[in-house]
């Protein structure tokens, strides 16, 4: 009489084992998704908590740039560019102060959808720079 492996017999043991494995995988995926969501919320909260400090830093940089613009080498054209950059920093500080993380992410998503080419290029450049930075360590 041939012996049968109970986990692969005709009694459905193989399907029970597959179901158990599937349940465990599903449970692990659910836990991972929950953890990622939790980490995402914590990161968003941390960003929102530091928005004021970031905006203040941007305003400080803008103020310094305005103060030193006239003394930069390169003449009037360079000074004009420095003032323009300082104005952009001030606008960015106002934006950061007015918008929470969720609305900033919605704005980024909208920008990427309307400008996919430049967005891909920017992502590639940032990825390259991050990769270079991490490979040096």
Residues 37-72: pLDDT tens digits?
899 889 889 988 999 999 999 999 999 999 999 898
Structural domain containing residue 50 = 16-136
What does the pLDDT average to over 10-35?
82
Does the residue 65 lie in any domain? yes
Does the residue 6 lie in any domain? no
Does the residue 9 lie in any domain? no
* Number of domains the chain contains: 1
* 3-class DSSP state of 49: helix
The mean of the pLDDT values for the chain is 87
Contact 79, 70 (CB under 8 A): yes
Q: Of the candidates 50, 42, 61, 58, which has an alpha carbon nearest to the alpha carbon of residue 100?
A: 50
If you ran DSSP here, which 8-state letter would residue 116 be given?
H
Contact 82, 69 (CB under 8 A): yes
Does the residue 4 lie in any domain? no
Give the whole-angstrom CA distance, residue 55 versus residue 58: 5
Does the residue 10 lie in any domain? no
Does the residue 56 lie in any domain? yes
Contact 130, 122 (CB under 8 A): no
Q: What pLDDT sits at residue 137?
A: 60
Does the residue 129 lie in any domain? yes
The pLDDT tens digits of the residues spanning 63-98 come to: 999 999 989 898 899 999 999 999 999 999 999 999
Rounded CA Rg of the chain = 27
Does the residue 109 lie in any domain? yes
Contact 48, 100 (CB under 8 A): yes
Q: Quick check: 136 pLDDT over 50?
A: yes
């Amino acid at each position: 009489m041939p012996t049968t492996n109970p986990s692969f017999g005709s009694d459905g043991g193989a399907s029970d084992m597959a179901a158990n494995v599937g349940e465990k995988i599903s449970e692990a995926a659910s836990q991972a998704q929950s953890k990622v969501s939790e980490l995402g919320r914590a990161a968003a909260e941390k960003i929102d908590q530091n928005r004021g400090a970031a905006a203040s830093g941007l305003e400080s940089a803008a103020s310094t740039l305005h103060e030193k613009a006239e003394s930069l080498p390169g003449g009037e054209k360079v000074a004009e560019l420095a003032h323009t950059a300082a104005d952009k920093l001030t606008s960015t500080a106002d934006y950061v102060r007015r918008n929470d993380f969720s609305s900033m992410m919605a704005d980024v998503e909208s920008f990427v959808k309307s400008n996919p080419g430049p967005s891909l290029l920017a992502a590639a450049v940032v990825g390259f720079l991050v990769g270079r930075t991490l490979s040096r360590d």
